[in-house]
Structure 1
Amino acid sequence: MRSVSLAFGGTAVPLAVTWLVWGTTYLAIAFGLRGAEPFTLSAVRFLTAGALLWGLAERRHEPRLTALRWRRATLVGVLLFSVGMGGVALAEEYVDSGTTALFIATVPLWSVLLNTAGGRPARSGEWAGVWLGLAGVAVLSAGLGRGGLTGAAILLPAAMCWVLGSRLDDRSAGVRGPAAQMLAGGTVLAVAAAVRGEFASPPQLAWGAVLALAYLVVFGSLLAMAAYRHLTAHTGPALATSYAFVTPVIAVLAGALFLDEPLTLHVLAGTALIVVAVVTTLLTRSRPAGPTTTAPGHPEAVRVRRRPASPTSGPHASS
């Protein structure tokens, strides 16, 4: 991952990659669901990405994981990938891809609540972001039908589990750590797919679904994460986490352009409220200098430890 990060060079390219790729992963999931069931699609995605990262760790001769780190990786992988991203794919059976992105964009707000529960008082700007975000969720939910409310009920716990999994992530295990997380999460998703009966009928190998899966693995789970690592190593937290309020807008527009998802008044109002909420939260959080900051927003990012800029600094990649 280091060589990939160095290849980005400046800031503009990795910034564009994180915005565009993470903004269109929800669209890719929607296309992928045309050929495979949600848990099957997610299992293949993370098992493949995890195997590729594991191969990279082997090539770099990284040390093997201890039993303790395997247990931690399994727990984090279930929270991040089985519940978090598996929930995203499942929810897209009920709600539009743009609406899904908006619900997941509330991750920074749940992070504020988790910080508060852990004894770190939230600032007034962070609380303002939380209330604005909850108002955006309420507006979105009001425009959803019965099936849409089912999707919302899946997405909110998925976002919360992503925050919790990011907090528990062991960021010191090199590439092998996130590889183990994805392999564990993908295995649980495969079991869930079997229990749900998704293997009863084989997936439809339509070109659109196959390309969508390849996009999710190569671009969504590998390239964008490398770009994000570069940003956290060479820029400030406000710029590095700017994807959190850009990607939901891109997701809504992509869904409208390529899937004819309606831009209703509820969607537009909810988008505005959630984007303003995330901007308020991130800008408030980035002001004081502290030992750590949470990299929120898209469910491919993890918690970041702030270090002096160096080619290898940045977050522990989760995907």
Structure 2
Amino acid sequence: MQAVSTPVITPSNRTTLWSALVSVYILWGSTYLFIHFMTERMPPLYMASLRYIIAGTLLYSYARLTGTSRPTTQHWKSAGLVGILLLTIANGALTIALQYIPTGMAALLGGMLPVFLLTLNWVSFGRVRPSNMALAGLGLGLLGIYFLIKPDRLHTTGGVDANLIGAGLVTVGNFSWAIGTLLAPRVSLPSQIISSGIQMLVGGFVLLAISLAVEPVTLWSIVDAPSKAIGSMLYLVVFGSIIGFSSYAWLARNARPQLLSTYAFVNPVVAMLLGVFFAGETFSAQSLLGALIALGGVVLITFGKK
């Protein structure tokens, strides 16, 4: 991987730093709840596809109008592939998973992404052996997942099968997201904003094609969507995809990597609390213990990187 220089944070932009960090913490942590609201009465893949098509169109148009050069065919192919991995497969699987498991549980399982990044970078992409602390975090994270998805640890009306289906979908999503993340630095991508726009457009249109094939929808089914679903989709477009992305991109350039990586274990906590207060989700003491164990594993992995 390319060496990353340590950014210097001056007092003049410290407020911007913490504003962006809180934005990523809260806005990205809230996306699980709003995906749940968006798909309560609408097909999940259809609504997810519209979310990314709208956000991708806005980002791509903004990049071109502000002078970003037109991406090449190779840029479209590379960014499109990353978009399919991150958005079509990973976020598509997460959106379906939220039909089976509570948002808090999905967020906590999604927070295990560093486990997949660590493992894939070890056995395939980078061939880099993790530090002992990171390996301890890997074991702790897997133990936490076991307690979290164990049927008698979580109060839900879905039952055993629903828990396992939901957890399996999130696992598939984590695996695909990890591949896309590790692949992105190894392919030819355009500038960040237009690259994200392409990823959302390609990922969104592939999702739409899948939705039209497997879900009971047409291109114009959005006109039948309830206002709650439309409002949630617009929230995800503006706050989840555009503002959340912009904050993360600024942090990637200006914050220390260790500070930025804390979103991986703050987002699940935010999502779990929002699910409890606004979606009526109930967790037992044992499931909370499993969540704490899993998050502890992520912390060890994050700060145990070489």
User: Where on the TM-score scale, by shorter chain, does this alignment land: which range?
Assistant: 0.7 to 0.9
The one-letter amino acid paired with 1:22 is W
Residue of structure 1 in register with 2:221 after alignment? 202
Separation in 2 of the partners of 1:100 and 1:80? 16
Give the number of the structure with larger relative contact order, counting CA–CA contacts within 8 Å between residues 6 or more apart. 2
Residue of structure 2 in register with 1:138 after alignment? 146
The one-letter amino acid paired with 1:216 is L
Separation in 2 of the partners of 1:45 and 1:93? 17
Separation in 1 of the partners of 2:122 and 2:215? 40
1:105-159 deviation digits (Å, cap 9, x = unpaired): 0101111101111311111111111111111111122126111111111110110
Q: Which consecutive residues of structure 1, in runs of 5 or more, have no partner in the other structure?
A: 1-5, 289-319
1:254-313 deviation digits (Å, cap 9, x = unpaired): 10100111112343122101110111111112xx5xxxxxxxxxxxxxxxxxxxxxxxxx
Q: Secondary structure at the match of 1:199?
A: coil
Q: How does 1:263-278 map to 2 (within 5 A)?
A: 263-278=283-298
Bigger Cα displacement from structure 2, 126-135 vs 257-266: 257-266
| Percent identity of equivalent pairs | 28
Residue of structure 2 in register with 1:114 after alignment? 120
Separation in 1 of the partners of 2:255 and 2:79? 28
Residue of structure 2 in register with 1:127 after alignment? 135
Maintained 8 Å contact 1:126/1:284:
yes
Q: How does 1:1-319 map to 2 (within 5 A)?
A: 9-118=15-124, 119-143=127-151, 145-169=160-184, 170=187, 172-174=189-191, 175-199=193-217, 202-203=221-222, 204-285=224-305, 288=306
Q: Secondary structure at the match of 2:283?
A: coil
Displacement of 1:7 in angstroms is 9.2
Note the aligned Cα RMSD (angstroms): 1.9
1:1-24 deviation digits (Å, cap 9, x = unpaired): xxxxx9995322111111111111
Aligned length: 281
Bigger Cα displacement from structure 2, 245-254 vs 56-65: 56-65
Maintained 8 Å contact 1:18/1:243:
yes
1:206-255 deviation digits (Å, cap 9, x = unpaired): 22211111111101111011111222222211111111111101111110
TM-score w.r.t. structure 1 length? 0.84
The structure with the largest helix share of the pair is: 2
Separation in 1 of the partners of 2:52 and 2:247? 19
Runs of 4 or more consecutive aligned structure 1 residues displaced over 6 Å after TM superposition: none
Maintained 8 Å contact 1:40/1:198:
no
Q: Secondary structure at the match of 1:113?
A: helix
